[in-house]
């Protein structure tokens, strides 16, 4: 049995550790979502998650765990954006559990969360050179908008870039 639940404030450190394990470091290399070849350092931390949640009313982190009281093994960030759009990000699955449909489950949960609150569109940003990840989202109905955002070079909260050509592409999906 698995449980999809909203995050609890006391588990933000566990969620940060989960996110970091999926995107950076040794454990990330066991999964397909690692971006260690692009960025060093951490992906997030407890304080950043807490501050971002406080700064964006209506935002939440949905988590997946095996049982009540267990640490999450998957999570996804979701927040209301402009008009009827919702931003989804930080889709995370433990590298030890990837390639089992859990990422799709988390993405669908985020979409259902937005739809239940009047959302008509999902939006996300992905680092432009993450071709495999972009293709995964496209198979789930997201499309490239042609819009981009600069990578926040110099802000180590997002990691330490290993190359100078990073930027974000924006994808969207109608709900």
Q: Give the pLDDT confidence of 116-126 residue by residue, as tens digits.
A: 999 999 999 99
Contacts of 138 (CB under 8 A, 6+ apart): 144, 171
Global pTM reads 0.92
pLDDT reported for residue 134: 96
Tell me if 14 sits within 8 A of 65, measured CB to CB: no
Tell me if 122 sits within 8 A of 89, measured CB to CB: no
Judged on CB neighbours under 10 Å (0-12, 13-18, 19+), 171 is: buried
pLDDT digits (tens, 9 = 90+) for 25-50: 676 666 677 787 888 888 899 999 99
Place of tokens 């971006």: 35
pLDDT reported for residue 153: 92
Rounded alpha-carbon distances, angstroms, from residue 169 to 8, 9, 83, 105, 175: 31, 31, 20, 23, 20
- Share the mean pLDDT of the chain: 91
**C-alpha torsion 145→158→46→18, nearest 10:** 70
Q: Which position has the higher pLDDT, 94 or 42?
A: 94
């Amino acid at each position: 049995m698995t449980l999809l639940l909203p995050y609890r404030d006391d588990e933000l450190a566990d969620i940060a550790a989960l996110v970091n394990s999926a995107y950076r470091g040794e454990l990330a290399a066991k999964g397909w979502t690692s971006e260690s070849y692009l960025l060093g350092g951490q992906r997030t931390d407890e304080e950043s998650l807490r501050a971002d949640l406080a700064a964006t009313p209506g935002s939440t982190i949905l988590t997946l765990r095996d049982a009540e009281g267990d640490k999450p093994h998957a999570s996804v960030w979701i927040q209301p954006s402009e008009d009827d759009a919702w931003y989804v990000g930080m889709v995370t699955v433990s590298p030890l559990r990837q390639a089992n449909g859990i990422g799709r489950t988390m993405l669908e949960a985020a979409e259902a969360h937005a739809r239940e609150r009047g959302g008509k569109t999902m939006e996300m940003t992905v680092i432009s050179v993450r071709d495999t990840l972009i293709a995964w989202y496209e198979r789930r109905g997201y499309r490239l908008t042609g819009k981009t955002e600069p990578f926040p070079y110099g802000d180590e909260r997002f990691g330490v870039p290993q190359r100078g050509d990073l930027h974000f592409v924006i994808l969207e999906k109608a709900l």
